[in-house]
Structure 1
Amino acid sequence: MRLLLYLSFLLLGVGCGSGGSDPAPAALPTTPSGPAPAAIRFLSLGDSYTIGQRVPTAARWGVQLAHLAPGLQTPDIIAQTGWTTAELQQAIRLANPPASYELVSLMIGVNNQFRGLPLATYRTEFRDLLYTSIRLAGNRPGRVFVLSIPDWGRSPYAQRYDQARISQQIDQFNAVAQQESQQAGVAFLDITDLTRTADPTQFAPDGLHYSGSQMRQWASRALPVVQALLQ
């Protein structure tokens, strides 16, 4: 059963293609090698960065990761644009997913920062989400990984805000996420630096969310981490 929850709202409560296929190769004789390995069930938790606001489904970073990692299923997703840590936790409770995933990702916090919610509250709620993620991974912290919060302060949309202050606060939220992840024995993946470049192609058409090419970089950086977790 797919767990795909999202609405087409813009991030932060404000609005914060397919090409042709290659010709099929000629079929080669194969030797039976026993049953195929079981697919690896993957649950991805978060907000607009997880659902890939303003990009096609295939461009979501989790979907791209599944294409890179052999045996990894396209993720079930519990995410919605604009969600804070508290809203994500409530949605997980309502969805009541099975605690049998082989891999769980968590990427949340930008809307806490945007709404000016206390960092101490984020710490408490993020810690709760970590342990929820661990439970959904069969009580295996070694099957959970966290992605850092991108720096939307470098986006064209953020030019109307204090961009230096946004970046500073994003660093503070990420420091909390990294500390809590380490204490829980969960892998922490820093992708924030990838969002601090001057490349205009990293943004979706709304000038706030990220493009498929930017999220491909997140998936590529996540790949060796995921491969190590699944060994």
Structure 2
Amino acid sequence: MTFLKNIVILILIPLLVSCSAENKSTDTVYSTIKNYKYLALGDSYTYGQSVCETCRFPEQLKDSIKKSLNPNDSFSIKLIATTGWTTTNLKLAIAAQNLASDYDLVTLLIGVNNQYQHKPFSLYEQEFPELVNQAIGFVKGNKNNLIVVSIPDYAYTPYGNGNSTISTEIDAYNTFAENYCNANNIAFVNITDITRLGLLQPELVANDGLHPSTIAYSKFVARIVPKVKVKLGL
């Protein structure tokens, strides 16, 4: 009987160790589940005017980042962006919402409607930094998790028809934003050159003849994703 008991014990020990290891592995997987929160701030270029809801750049960014996440991780988007918004409109929209300060990532793309509506450039000089500081607050005060995206140049669309004045003014806005970001160690991603291929490559322009297409947004995302991965530690 003693001999048989010893055999049973020898058989059971590996099974118990195996079960314990399996439970430990399961516990490890579930204990490292991450729920990433992304806040996208902007205007029509963030809203994705004239492209499908899943075609705009924040959604394409989400899809790209999810490929680097664990199966149980999540990546949710909060979009505060509408066609026609200036910096003032975006500020008012943010103020109207009770936003949390626990986002893991914020993108900010704003200013084209300040230019289009001929607002004083001084307004952008005042309100862009204010929006940047608000955005930093939404990512737990960590400016490293903010990405500012440059303003597309709609001169290179059928609507803009190569108007050089538009390009000159867009350059002024982007130069100010980039210089501000560089001075404050904030990530700035330039996508303007992509949109300046719009007349040569019509597939980069949406059917409305003005806004970026799904293909153009995918090219934006290709430049943004590497920075997001670094910021999120992926």
Using structure 1 for the length normalisation, give the TM-score.
Answer: 0.83
Residue 99 of structure 1 is aligned with which of 101, 121, 138?
101
* 1:96 Cα offset (Å): 2.0
Mapped pair 1:34 → 2:36: no
Paired residue for 1:167?
167
The Cα offsets for residues 196-223 of structure 1, whole Å up to 9 and x where unpaired, read as 1111011111100111111011111100
Unpaired segments of 5 or more residues in structure 2?
1-24
- Equivalent residue, structure 1, for 2:43: 47
Is 2:90 the partner of 1:88?
yes
Distance in structure 1 (CA, Å) of the matches to 2:94 and 2:186: 19
Task: Summarize the alignment of residues 149-188 of structure 1 with structure 2, pairs less than 5 Å apart.
Answer: 149-159=151-161, 163-188=163-188
Distance in structure 2 (CA, Å) of the matches to 1:181 and 1:113: 20
Relative contact order higher in (CA < 8 Å, ≥ 6 apart): 1
**Aligned AA for 2:34?**
A
Cα displacement string for residues 181-210 of structure 1 (whole angstroms, at most 9, x for unaligned residues): 223321000000010111101111110011
Q: Summarize the alignment of residues 136-215 of structure 1 with structure 2, pairs less than 5 Å apart.
A: 136-159=138-161, 163-197=163-197, 198-215=200-217
Structure 1 unmatched ranges of 5 or more: 1-30
Alignment partner of 2:108: what SS? strand
**1:46-125 map, 5 Å:** 46-69=42-65, 70-71=68-69, 73-125=75-127
Sequence identity of aligned pairs in percent?
A: 36
Note if contact 1:46-1:78 (Cα within 8 Å) is conserved in structure 2.
Answer: yes
**Corresponding position of 1:227:** 229
Aligned partner letter, 1:172: A
Question: What is the aligned partner in structure 2 of residue 19 from structure 1?
Answer: none
Distance 2:80 2:124 in 1: 19
Q: Cα RMSD (Å) of the superposition? A: 1.4
Question: Post-superposition shift, 1:158?
Answer: 1.2
Q: As a proportion of its length, which structure holds more helix? A: 2
Calculate the TM-score normalised by the size of structure 2.
0.82
Distance 2:89 2:118 in 1: 15
Asked if structure 2 preserves the Cα contact closer than 8 Å seen for 1:130 and 1:184, the reply is: no
* SS class of match (1:158): coil
Q: Letter of the aligned partner of 1:182 in structure 2?
A: N
How far is the alpha carbon of 1:113 from its aligned partner?
0.7
The structural deviation recorded for 1:150 is 0.2
Deviation at 1:74, TM superposition (A): 3.8
1:137 partner amino acid:
V
Query: How many pairs align?
Result: 199
Q: State which structure, 1 or 2, has the greater radius of gyration over its C-alpha atoms.
A: 2
